[in-house]
């Protein structure tokens, strides 16, 4: 594939200092981008909910990769649905508009799997995105991010603006967010098992009944897919990024316990929410349109994530 050359392109990566963002920057550099032409607006310096801030960030840039999001697990989604809706909608919609006005060459928007309907036929196909309401705890976040797909398609139709929209499945990997108040399931479980071992506990309480299924994509693979799409994909259709492999939460917990050598009893807290019943993606479109296939096996990815947490975890 010839694709878009990244050499000498001025690239903004919102959320570029985060867990996925650092991997995306590494993949951009590997694909030929120039380090001193990549900029990362930090939330402490830039409030992307403000249009003027967005305008300043995109001025004179060639490519915007929008990863920044206010995001967390089930607990945060239940506690702060209004913030999650407002922050994610305003960041994205104003950044897209500012990029269009500044004549940015390409906008890559990273959406969320939470945008899919609660009851979507498995595996999730991109064409099913609008066939129902998202799982209730995720809906404010998911709908805010899904609105950005509509905006990009509308701006393409009316203005010829080249914006693409990607739907990565649940991510995990080294440097993930291990904060128990806002982390997703894998880092939350790794931390929980580690702390139970530190305290010599014999029971491990886990939310739900273990029946829901999830799919997980290693962060390096996700970053590689985002950069491949940046270079090779220019269509209006949303594209899933995933592995097309489904695992139950019960099997996930047991695998993490096995890899971390936790011998205690898993206690399922069935009065706590399960979240969406099943989650697994059809990944054919990414393979066909820009050649993306995930490469990291799940057990290898978990081993590397566990190893990173054991080395660095006390500081996060």
Cα(281)–Cα(144) distance, integer angstroms: 20
For the annotated binding site, the residues are 15-21, 145, 168-171, 184, 192, 207, 214
Name the one residue in this structure whose structure tokens are 């694909």: 31
- Report DSSP state, residue 207: E
**What does DSSP say about strands 163-168 and 106-110: parallel, antiparallel, or unpaired?**
parallel
State yes or no: is 141 an active-site residue: yes
Cα(168)–Cα(216) distance, integer angstroms: 9
For the annotated binding site for substrate, the residues are 192, 207, 214
Cα(81)–Cα(98) distance, integer angstroms: 26
8 Å CB contact between 167 and 111: yes
Cα(34)–Cα(54) distance, integer angstroms: 22
Q: Work out the number of other CB atoms within 10 angstroms of the CB of residue 292.
A: 26
Cα(62)–Cα(11) distance, integer angstroms: 6
Cα dist from 110 to 250, 254, 256, whole Å:
29, 31, 28
Buried b / exposed e over 141-164, threshold 16 CB at 10 Å, is: bbbbbbbbbebbbebbeeeebbbb
Q: Please identify which of the residues 116, 141, 155, 218 carries the catalytic annotation.
A: 141
HSE at residue 56, side-chain half, CA atoms within 13 A, is: 12
**What does DSSP say about strands 247-248 and 213-214: parallel, antiparallel, or unpaired?**
antiparallel
Cα(159)–Cα(172) distance, integer angstroms: 36
- List the catalytic residues: 141
């Amino acid at each position: 594939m010839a694709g878009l050359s990244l050499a000498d392109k001025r690239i903004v990566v919102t959320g570029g200092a985060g867990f996925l963002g650092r991997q995306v920057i590494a993949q951009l550099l590997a694909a030929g981008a120039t380090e001193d032409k990549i900029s990362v607006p930090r939330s402490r310096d830039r409030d992307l909910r403000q249009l003027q801030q967005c305008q300043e960030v995109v001025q004179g840039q060639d490519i915007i990769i929008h990863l920044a999001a206010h995001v967390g697990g089930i607990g945060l989604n239940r506690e702060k649905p209004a913030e999650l809706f407002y922050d994610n909608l305003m960041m994205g919609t104003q950044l897209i508009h500012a990029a269009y006005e500044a004549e940015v060459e390409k906008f890559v928007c990273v959406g969320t799997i939470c945008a899919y309907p609660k009851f979507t036929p498995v595996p999730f196909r991109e064409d099913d995105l609008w066939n129902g309401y998202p799982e209730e705890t995720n809906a404010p976040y998911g709908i805010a991010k899904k609105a950005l797909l509509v905006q990009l398609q509308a701006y393409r139709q009316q203005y010829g603006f080249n914006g693409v929209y990607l739907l990565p499945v649940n991510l995990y990997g080294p440097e993930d967010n291990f904060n128990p108040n806002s982390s997703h399931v894998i880092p939350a479980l790794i931390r929980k098992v580690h702390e139970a071992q530190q305290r010599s506990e014999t029971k491990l309480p886990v939310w739900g009944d273990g029946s829901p299924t999830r799919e997980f994509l290693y962060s390096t693979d996700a970053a590689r897919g985002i950069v491949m799409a940046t270079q090779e994909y220019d269509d209006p259709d949303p594209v899933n990024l995933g592995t097309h492999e489904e695992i139950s939460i019960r099997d996930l917990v047991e695998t993490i316990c096995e890899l971390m050598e936790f011998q205690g009893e898993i206690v399922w807290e069935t009065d706590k929410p399960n979240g969406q019943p099943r989650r697994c993606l059809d990944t054919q479109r990414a393979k066909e349109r820009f050649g993306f296939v995930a490469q990291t096996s799940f057990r290898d990815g978990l081993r590397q994530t566990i190893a990173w947490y054991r080395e660095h975890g006390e500081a996060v």
